[in-house]
Amino acid sequence: MSEEQSITYTAQAGGHLTGQIRVPGDKSISHRSIMLGSLSQGRMTISGFLQGEDSLATLKAFRAMGVNIDGPDEQGKVIIEGVGMHGLSAPDEPLDLGNSGTSMRLLTGLLSAQGFDITLAGDHSLSSRPMKRVTDPVMQMGADIETNKGGTAPLKIHSDENTRLTGIDYTLPMASAQVKSCVLLAGLYAQGQTCVTEPAPTRDHTERMLQGFGYVLDIKKLDAQSSQICLQGGGQLTACDIDVPSDISSAAFFMVGASISQGSDITLKHVGINPTRIGVINILQQMGADISLSNEKEIGGEPVADIRIRYAQLKGIHIPEDQVPLAIDEFPAISIAAACAEGQTVLSGAEELRVKESDRIQAMIDGMNILGIDCEGTKDGMIINGGEFTSGTVDSLGDHRIAMSFAMAALKAKGAITIKDCANVNTSFPDFIGLAQSCGLQVISKVDV
């Protein structure tokens, strides 16, 4: 799909969600499986790899650096021949990471001491997002990185055989799994120990997967919220097979859609329920959602379950700040639930939402105002008064999560909702339209001429 091509969704009012579906594989785990698998010793197989544009950008980047990667096939099977920690080669041109902030931020750490110069580039959206929060700590470790004015991409990483990183003890200014992961991945190549202290829990896929590949980590709980993760540089990764669970961030749209539409009863199969990712379940249940888990098990170090959601009348709440990092990507969808709840919902402590693919706070407020919801943004969150969606046209600003959230809003709207600029849904959720239609959402997609 070219960057010039624009897609518009039109979602008709009403309906409900029923049946059993499996949403695509977890994007966070798909990214990391390619990265660590490429640097490991041996051959590995990934099952259920997410074939979205973001994770495919990571796969293509490692192919460009000389890694033999077969797939993905139609079932998401990928086979990687690992090249070891120092087996990557310089690509012929800058790595084009498309719209993937995860790829750029994690690779900033991973590629900071490979012994060759490399440039990380992306599309217009990615090139406008802040990168200093990853480049600053890695440069403290000794990396040589050039950015555009304002700390944005493209990122030019200079490295040769004399480049040496030194481990640091870094305290995150705000809870962020991407910054934590970037520093830890740079620490693999640093002399001595690298430690990251996080002020609140964030998704821990990097730590789980490093340990799954045989890397030793020291993880300490410092108090009720904060923890410290340490590793020694200079180790090796041993290949292991990975079965990628369904992405809870993608499941969140269907959780919200079923919760707000009367008559809904849907089961989402094989969803990852990592404790650092289940904020959306916790928050919706506090709002009164009817959500139950079954068939719980552990696959490759990651807990999974089937999730059943039935319609329930939701109530507004003050979202606990300790749940915010556990649901940071799901707040566009949670905002739709809040708009359909009785009373007021208050979100605070979520300033990171302003520097995602869009300013997600402002994008949701603007869209919900257009659709008749009384809400306002704050510096670090929003205040939403429950009401009823009317019809109208909203702009997703090229943000996949904004687009899918407003599509679900139509289930509880008085009229059709048109959503502009939806092409980037393919970054995380290929065939969202087909799967949503199969369980009851009346939505169509058209390419704008």
Residue ranges per domain, the chain? 7-25+245-447, 27-243
pLDDT in tens, 28-84: 999 999 999 999 999 999 999 999 999 999 999 999 999 999 999 988 999 999 999
Query: pTM value?
Result: 0.84
pLDDT in tens, 102-133: 999 999 999 999 999 999 999 998 999 989 99
CA distances from 341 to 97, 334, 365 (A): 38, 11, 16
Give residue 355's pLDDT: 63
Task: Out of 68-72, 168-172, 241-245, 428-432, pick the least confident.
Answer: 428-432
Whether the domain at 7-25+245-447 and the domain at 27-243 fall into the same CATH topology:
yes
Q: What tokens were used for 108?
A: 């900033």
Give residue 357's pLDDT: 67
pLDDT in tens, 357-407: 678 999 999 999 999 999 999 999 999 999 999 999 999 999 999 999 999
Q: Which fold is adopted by the domain 27-243?
A: UDP-n-acetylglucosamine1-carboxyvinyl-transferase; Chain (3.65.10)
Question: How many alpha carbons lie under 13 Å from residue 335 in its C-beta half-sphere?
Answer: 36
List strand residue ranges (DSSP E) for 36-81, in order: 43-47, 68-70, 78-81
Q: Which amino acid is at 321?
A: E
Q: Which position among 306, 329, 395, 399 bears the catalytic label?
A: 329
pLDDT in tens, 185-198: 999 999 999 999 99
User: Count of CB atoms within 10 A of residue 197's CB?
Assistant: 16
Could you confirm whether 329 is annotated as catalytic? yes
φ/ψ of 162, rounded to 5, equals -95, -5
Query: What homologous superfamily is domain 7-25+245-447 in, according to CATH?
Result: Enolpyruvate transferase domain (3.65.10.10)
Average pLDDT over residues 429-438: 95
pLDDT in tens, 324-340: 988 988 999 999 999 99
Give residue 115's pLDDT: 96
134: helix, strand or coil:
helix
Q: Which residue has the tokens 């300033």?
A: 351
Q: Which amino acid is at 15?
A: G
4 pLDDT higher than 60: no
Average pLDDT over residues 228-254: 96
Give residue 5's pLDDT: 78
- Helix residue ranges, H only, 81-202: 101-110, 132-140, 177-187
Q: What is the DSSP letter of 244?
A: P
